[in-house]
C-alpha cells in the first residue's frame, strides 16, 4: 500500500520517485490542480485502511488530510497542534511533504529527529526547498563553517533555524553578534544557535540596553553577555528584574559581583537563589556567588558546616 508506506516513512518510498530516482520538489509545498486530482484517485483505495490506523474517527475529512494526520501521529507529532499552527499543511500535497522529508534526510537528519523538528516548527513541512531550506544549509556551511557531517547536530540543537529567513533574520543576527565580539561561528552554531534566531531589534538590543540601565557601561554589559550568552535568552520582566531586585535589596549585592558572575541570572530565584541565601543568613555566613550557587546540595551543606 503506497499510501501507508509513505506514512511510515519508508526510505525507499520517501527517497524515490516513479523512476527510482531521488525526487525533490523545489517549489513551495502548496497544492496544484494536478496534484490534487492525481491524489484523489487514491482516496477510495486507501480510505478504509487509513481509517483503521487513525487514533480517533475523523468523519467528513478528505483521505489526503487523514493520511497527513496519520503521517504525523506515527512520528509522534501532535497532529492537531501542528495543523493549527500551520493551516497551509491541510492543502499541501503529499509529494511536497515527502520531498521535504527526503531533503532533510539527505542532509544528515535522522528519521527519529523529525518528530521533534516538525513538532517544534510545523512550517518546515510547507517550506520551499529552494527558497527556504537550501539557503539555511548554505548559511550553516558558508557563514558558520559547519561541516555537512554536523548539520544534524546544529539543527537538533535549534530546529527554528529551518524556518528562519537567512536574509532577514540569520545574517543580521550574526552580524550584530560578531560586532559584539562573538567571533567563533562554530561555537554559535553548536552552543548558542538560539541567538541567531532571536530578533536583533526586539530581543538582543533591548536586553543589552537593560543591563546598561543597571549602571554598567556598554563594554561591561557586552563582557557579561560574552561570558554568559544565555543572558540574551532571559526575560527582562520575569528573570532580570526580580532577580536583580532580590540581589540588591535582600542580598546586598553589587554590580561588580554580577559582572564577575553573570551566570547568577541563570539560576532559579525560588528554587536556588532564595533558599541558598536564606540558609546562609540563618547560619550567619556568606559565600561568593559562584560558591553559593554552583555547588551541589551536598557541597553547599558541607561548606556551611566547615565555615
Q: Are residues 99 and 134 in the same domain?
A: no
pLDDT by residue (tens digit) across 112-135? 999 999 999 999 999 999 999 999
Residue 33 has pLDDT above 80, yes or no: no
CB atoms closer than 10 angstroms to residue 109: 19
- pLDDT given at position 58: 56
Cell numbers at 92, concatenated: 499541501
Domain range for 288 = 200-306
d(Cα 63, Cα 54) in Å, to the nearest integer?
11
Question: What total number of domains does the chain contain?
Answer: 3
Q: Does 134 lie in the same domain as 21?
A: no
Q: What is the pLDDT at residue 134? A: 98
User: Based on the domain organization, do 179 and 208 belong to the same domain?
Assistant: no
d(CA 225, CA 218): 11
Last residue of a domain, one of 95, 127, 159: 127
Q: Taking a C-beta distance cutoff of 8 angstroms, is the pair 196, 174 a contact?
A: yes
pLDDT in tens, 167-225: 999 999 999 999 999 999 989 999 999 999 999 999 999 999 999 999 999 999 999 99
Same domain for 57 and 115, yes or no, is: yes
Query: Which triple of cell numbers denotes residue 271?
Result: 528554587
DSSP for 254-299 reads -HHHHHH-GGGGGS-IIIIIHHHHHHHHHHT----HHHHHHS-HHH
* Whether residue 210 sits in one domain with residue 186: no
Are residues 50 and 23 part of one domain?
yes
- CATH at residue 290: 1.25.70.10
Last residue of a domain, one of 197, 226, 251: 197
Q: What is the pLDDT of residue 111?
A: 92
Query: Percent of the chain at pLDDT above 90?
Result: 67
- Residue pLDDT, tens place only, 44-75: 444 444 445 445 555 567 777 777 788 778 87
Q: Cα separations (Å) of 65 from 72, 85, 91, 92, 106? A: 11, 15, 8, 9, 26
Higher pLDDT among residues 7 and 240, named by residue: 240
Summarize pLDDT for 267-287 with one digit per residue, the tens.
Answer: 999 999 999 999 999 999 999
64 and 116 part of one domain? yes
- Asked if 10 and 50 sit in the same domain, the reply is yes
pLDDT digits (tens, 9 = 90+) for 139-174: 999 999 999 999 999 999 999 999 999 999 999 999
- The pLDDT score that the predictor gives to residue 16 is 35
Q: According to the model, what pLDDT value does residue 37 have? A: 30
How far is the C-alpha of 40 from the C-alpha of 31, rounded, in Å? Answer: 12
The span from the CA of 242 to the CA of 82, in Å, is: 34
Greater confidence (252 vs 89) lies with 252
Burial class (CB in 10 A: 0-12, 13-18, 19+), 123: middle
3-state DSSP percent of the chain in helix, strand and coil, to 5: 75, 0, 25
Are 46 and 99 within one domain? yes
* Final residue before a domain boundary, out of 79, 106, 127: 127
Same domain as 280, residue 176: no
179 with 114, same domain: the answer is: no
What is the rounded distance in angstroms from the CA atom of residue 59 to the CA atom of residue 45?
17
Same domain, 136 and 89: no
Q: What is the mean pLDDT of the chain?
A: 84
Amino acid at each position: 500500500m503506497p499510501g501507508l508506506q509513505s506514512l511510515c516513512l519508508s526510505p525507499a518510498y520517501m527517497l524515490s520517485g516513479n523512476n527510482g530516482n531521488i525526487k525533490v520538489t523545489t517549489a513551495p509545498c502548496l497544492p496544484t490542480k494536478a496534484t490534487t486530482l492525481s491524489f484523489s484517485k487514491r482516496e477510495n483505495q486507501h480510505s478504509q485502511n487509513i481509517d483503521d490506523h487513525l487514533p480517533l474517527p475523523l468523519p467528513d475529512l478528505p483521505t489526503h488530510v487523514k493520511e497527513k494526520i496519520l503521517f504525523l501521529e506515527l512520528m509522534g507529532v501532535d497532529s492537531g497542534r501542528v495543523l493549527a499552527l500551520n493551516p497551509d499543511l491541510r492543502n499541501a500535497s503529499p509529494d511536497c511533504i515527502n520531498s521535504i522529508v527526503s531533503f532533510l534526510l539527505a542532509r544528515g537528519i535522522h528519521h527519529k529527529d523529525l518528530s521533534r523538528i516538525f513538532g517544534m516548527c510545523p512550517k518546515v513541512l510547507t517550506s520551499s526547498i529552494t527558497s527556504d531550506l537550501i539557503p539555511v544549509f548554505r548559511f550553516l556551511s558558508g557563514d558558520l563553517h559547519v561541516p555537512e557531517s554536523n548539520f544534524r547536530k546544529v539543527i537538533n540543537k535549534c530546529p527554528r533555524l529551518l524556518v528562519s529567513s537567512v536574509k532577514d533574520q540569520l545574517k543580521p543576527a550574526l552580524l550584530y553578534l560578531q560586532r559584539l565580539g562573538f567571533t567563533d561561528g562554530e561555537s554559535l552554531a553548536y552552543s548558542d544557535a538560539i541567538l541567531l534566531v532571536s530578533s536583533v531589534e526586539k530581543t538582543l538590543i533591548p536586553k543589552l540596553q537593560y543591563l546598561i540601565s543597571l549602571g554598567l557601561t556598554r563594554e561591561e554589559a557586552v563582557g557579561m553577555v560574552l561570558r554568559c550568552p544565555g543572558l540574551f535568552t532571559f526575560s527582562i520582566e520575569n528573570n532580570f528584574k526580580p532577580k536583580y531586585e532580590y540581589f540588591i535589596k535582600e542580598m546586598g549585592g553589587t554590580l561588580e559581583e554580577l559582572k564577575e558572575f553573570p551566570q547568577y541570572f541563570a539560576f532559579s530565584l525560588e528554587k536556588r537563589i532564595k533558599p541558598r541565601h536564606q540558609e546562609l543568613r540563618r547560619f550567619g555566613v556568606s559565600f561568593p556567588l559562584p560558591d553559593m550557587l554552583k555547588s551541589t546540595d551536598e557541597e553547599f551543606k558541607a561548606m556551611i558546616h566547615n565555615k
